[in-house]
Structure 1
């Protein structure tokens, strides 16, 4: 038998992935891990709910609220697991290639993947799901079944919230990999997540202008606000704001080097 002592990181990545490389974790990483550790308790509750439903259905009783509860728990837990996989790097990727890359090459790939691919997608989804949740709240959406769970809007409201937490986790992961490349400045972070920063800047400008027109023109149909000249060029405005942030970060970086 081999007497070789297993690597502690290999053991931790199996028994508790959230503790793997904890020393390098940022506050966003710990937020995601702590939330996931709490939400993980949903799974044993979910298993009990599934088994209970099987037995009572066989006995001739069907509880629609229990069916709804299973979907609620599963959806909430799985979306939390999405952010947890980002933090612990346990998500699926082409490991047959990735595992043989150097540390710096892996870091460059991760920065691009998080900043230019994943973060923009999650920002877009958060924006869409916020409207989706608001519409559900406004309609007081509930279950299709008379004895189901009738506050479905609560589950739908959790979607943009959990996507926001996943954004924080992905941003923290990108920052960790930037540190591995030796570039941890604000300038590097903006460049590393340029499409994401641009999208957030554009959305911030859009909503500020939208509410400005909504408040100053109460008689204007909300559906027509997006056709107003003031909000027609928010994409270019967002790009301009992003470039200003880049310039400010660059000047700050130069000032820090001189100091």
Structure 2
């Protein structure tokens, strides 16, 4: 079990690094959006390429940060019902649902997206919009995002089993971890005088 927990920690480190750093693409998308809107209003010019870049950036953040969201237990769930259950029952539900629902879905999407991405790369597929961009960078994010989510699912299964069997303490129970957004905000440097 020690080697599986080491694998889990490795996967967690990768997804935490990516999840924290990909968030900066939201700022880039906002700046591009504001610049594009300003140019369109002031100079009466527009470009589909700039619109597509915004979609690519947002899609990349969504897909790459999904694994980080799962790792931080910030994904959507029905807390009203799950809070009525015991901690042990919730752990078993997480374990079983990750095995039965999450992994088969993410593995299937990863498997199906590989030929889709390769076909797009090989054909040099371009957006149908006038002045549009090549599509494979956006499509490859689907493959990467679901691959990372599959790996994080494996990590969560390992950790959940270790928690259920008593090998590992549940970090959510032993520490008062702030939600992921608050954690990221607390890591940003403070400006003097504020």
TM-score with structure 2 length normalisation? Answer: 0.77
Q: Which has the higher contact order (CA 8 A, sep 6+)?
A: 2
How much has 1:158 moved relative to structure 2?
Answer: 2.4
| Residue number among 58, 61, 74 corresponding to 2:45 in the alignment | 61
How much has 1:95 moved relative to structure 2?
Answer: 0.5
Structure 1 residue aligned with 2:177: none
Structure 1 residue aligned with 2:112: 128
- Show the 5 A alignment for 1:65-214: 65-149=49-133, 151-182=134-165
Aligned length: 159
Mark the runs of 5 or more structure 2 residues left unpaired by the alignment.
Answer: 1-7, 168-194
How much has 1:57 moved relative to structure 2?
Answer: 1.4
The answer on whether the counterparts of 2:125 and 2:136 sit within 8 Å (CA) in structure 1 is: yes
How much has 1:170 moved relative to structure 2?
Answer: 1.1
Structure 1 residue aligned with 2:18: 35
Supply the distance in 2 between the matched residues of 1:31 and 1:75 (Cα, whole angstroms).
19
The answer on whether the counterparts of 2:103 and 2:150 sit within 8 Å (CA) in structure 1 is: yes
Matched residue of 2:21: which SS? helix
Q: 1:171 to 1:183 in 2, by over 3 A?
A: farther
The answer on whether the counterparts of 1:29 and 1:173 sit within 8 Å (CA) in structure 2 is: no
The answer on whether the counterparts of 2:66 and 2:149 sit within 8 Å (CA) in structure 1 is: yes
How much has 1:183 moved relative to structure 2?
Answer: 7.2
Supply the distance in 2 between the matched residues of 1:100 and 1:178 (Cα, whole angstroms).
21
How much has 1:143 moved relative to structure 2?
Answer: 2.3
TM-score with structure 1 length normalisation? Answer: 0.58
What CA deviation, in whole Å up to 9, does each residue of 1:110-131 have, x standing for no partner?
A: 0011111110000000011111
Matched residue of 1:26: which SS? helix
Bigger-Rg structure (1/2): 1
How much has 1:68 moved relative to structure 2?
Answer: 1.0
Supply the distance in 1 between the matched residues of 2:50 and 2:69 (Cα, whole angstroms).
28
